[in-house]
Amino acid sequence: MKYCSTCGHPVEQRIPEGDNRHRYVCVSCETIHYQNPKIVAGTVPVWEGRILLCRRAIEPRYGYWTLPAGFMENAETTVEAAARETREEALAEVNIDGLYSIIDVPHINQVHMFYRASLIDGQFGAGEESLESRLFAPQEIPWDEISFPTVRKTLELFLADLESTQFGVHVSDIRHALGKPTRQ
Amino acid sequence: MKYCSTCGHPVEQRIPEGDNRHRYVCVSCETIHYQNPKIVAGTVPVWEGRILLCRRAIEPRYGYWTLPAGFMENAETTVEAAARETREEALAEVNIDGLYSIIDVPHINQVHMFYRASLIDGQFGAGEESLESRLFAPQEIPWDEISFPTVRKTLELFLADLESTQFGVHVSDIRHALGKPTRQ
């Protein structure tokens, strides 16, 4: 950030009065431009015991398999965002069955939230951001080609819970040391 | 938003190629400025069966009672944000006992997350944004002077769960029709 989105003048980094963190502050109109984490919402879509994954048609991680998920938009709920992303990426309509995983990813300022979901009619396809979608039995999950650490973690948790048929809500975080290569 | 924070030129609202929503786009450098919901993180801090509330020293809802909560910052986790807000507003150190409520508030582009928490040593006070903090037994909660709908809902859920001693994770939303007065 270099310029004030309110008045167009340059911003500087400083600690505003009454605050204890550096913020972007406009040198002219004094507007403080806060920056906050974003939510990525998605689903674990299930049909007849199999899990629906999408193969990414976009970077990063082009060609890798992912759970349908994406940035939550303004004016929607996390449930709506998760269902929308599933519709957009996998062309699948789902019932949301419950919150499943919340994974903080602080080094990239994101919080990932996955809901358990059921395909309504077994229909699915490849949205614009997907090369293909496919149902995988638990033993077929392509572990060597999973897109992101939060997807891997959610799938690992889900398969473990699938055996016990107890689906709790899992809160965790994924951290990477500064400078360490990350695939997130 | 009127100006591009990257180059300082004006922005316009339009639907970028491959998108389906209006975004702020720079007329000069073409940067797309996405806007996304913010997370408000807080706790339900408990000490010897009583709940710690803070009376707000800032607008909105000056003088009303609230659970300690505030905007999550970049580079922290939701757990860290909840504990930090409790430290800042109630001068209390807590152990986080588990995720408790997630309440989407789509008309103001926020997601509120409250964690169950236990005071570590029973110490608390009034931070800069609080007039005072006080422990309330369940039957003492000042229902007529509660700050926000998400705080009220979380307290209602918590007291109901307190009777059964079963604390699940509660996902819900609070919506207000457009134009309807809101106290959120």
CATH number of the domain residue A28 falls in: 2.20.70.10
Band of residue A165 on the pLDDT scale cut at 50, 70, 90: confident
Band of residue A166 on the pLDDT scale cut at 50, 70, 90: confident
With CB atoms and an 8 Å threshold, state whether A18 touches B98: no
**B16 and B87 assigned to the same domain:** no
With CB atoms and an 8 Å threshold, state whether B75 touches A107: yes
Residue A115: left if φ>0, alpha if ψ -120 to 50, beta else—which one?
beta
**B52 and B80 assigned to the same domain:** yes
pLDDT tens per residue, range B122-134:
999 999 999 999 9
With CB atoms and an 8 Å threshold, state whether A171 touches B98: yes
Pairwise CA distance, residues A100 & A120, whole Å: 19
Pairwise CA distance, residues B154 & B161, whole Å: 10
pLDDT tens per residue, range A24-51:
999 999 999 999 999 999 999 999 999 9
Task: Specify the range with the lowest mean pLDDT, choosing from B45-54, B135-144, B169-178.
Answer: B169-178
Mean pLDDT, all residues of chain A: 95
> Which of A7, A77, A107 lies closest to B173 in CB terms?
A77
**A83 and A150 assigned to the same domain:** yes
Pairwise CA distance, residues A31 & A10, whole Å: 11
In chain B, the percentage of residues whose pLDDT exceeds 70 is 96
Pairwise CA distance, residues A9 & A3, whole Å: 5
Q: What is the pLDDT of residue A36?
A: 97
With CB atoms and an 8 Å threshold, state whether A11 touches B5: yes
Q: What is the pLDDT of residue B117?
A: 98
Which is more confidently placed, B36 or B178? B36
Q: What is the pLDDT of residue B165?
A: 83
ipTM of the complex: 0.93
**A78 and A18 assigned to the same domain:** no
DSSP per-residue string spanning A99-124 = EEEEEEEGGGTEEEEEEEEEESSS--
pLDDT tens per residue, range B108-118:
999 999 999 99
**B6 and B90 assigned to the same domain:** no
Closest chain B residue to the Cα of A169, Cα to Cα: B169
**B98 and B132 assigned to the same domain:** yes
> Which of B1, B38, B76 lies closest to A106 in CB terms?
B76
CATH number where B97 lies: 3.90.79.10
The DSSP element (H or E) to which A25 belongs, if any, is strand A23-26
Pairwise CA distance, residues B171 & B184, whole Å: 18
pLDDT surpasses 70 at A173: yes
With CB atoms and an 8 Å threshold, state whether A37 touches B106: no
The domain total for chain A is: 2
Interface A-B, measured as beta-carbon pairs within 8 A, has a size of: 112
Band of residue A90 on the pLDDT scale cut at 50, 70, 90: very high
**A17 and A47 assigned to the same domain:** no
Band of residue A12 on the pLDDT scale cut at 50, 70, 90: very high
Amino acid at position A4, single letter? C
With CB atoms and an 8 Å threshold, state whether B36 touches A35: no
Q: Is the dihedral of CA A177, A178, A179, A182 positive or negative?
A: positive
pLDDT tens per residue, range B143-178:
999 999 999 999 999 999 998 888 999 999 999 755
**Residue range of the domain that includes B176:** 38-183
pLDDT tens per residue, range A98-151:
999 999 999 999 999 999 999 999 999 999 999 999 999 999 999 999 999 999
**B162 and B130 assigned to the same domain:** yes
Q: What residue has token string 């950030």?
A: A1
Mean pLDDT, all residues of chain B: 95
Band of residue A177 on the pLDDT scale cut at 50, 70, 90: low
Chain A hits for B128, Cβ within 8 Å: 18
**A159 and A94 assigned to the same domain:** yes
Rounded to the nearest 5°, which phi and psi values hold at A122? 80, 0
pLDDT surpasses 80 at A162: yes
Q: What is the pLDDT of residue A18?
A: 86
With CB atoms and an 8 Å threshold, state whether B37 touches A74: yes
With an 8 Å Cβ cutoff, the interface of chain A facing chain B consists of 1-11, 18, 21, 33-39, 71-80, 98-99, 102, 104, 106-107, 109, 111, 128, 169, 171, 173
**B87 and B103 assigned to the same domain:** yes
With CB atoms and an 8 Å threshold, state whether A111 touches B39: yes
* pTM across the whole model: 0.94
Chain A hits for B75, Cβ within 8 Å: 106-107, 109
**A61 and A25 assigned to the same domain:** no
CA distance B140 to chain A (A): 31
**B151 and B135 assigned to the same domain:** yes
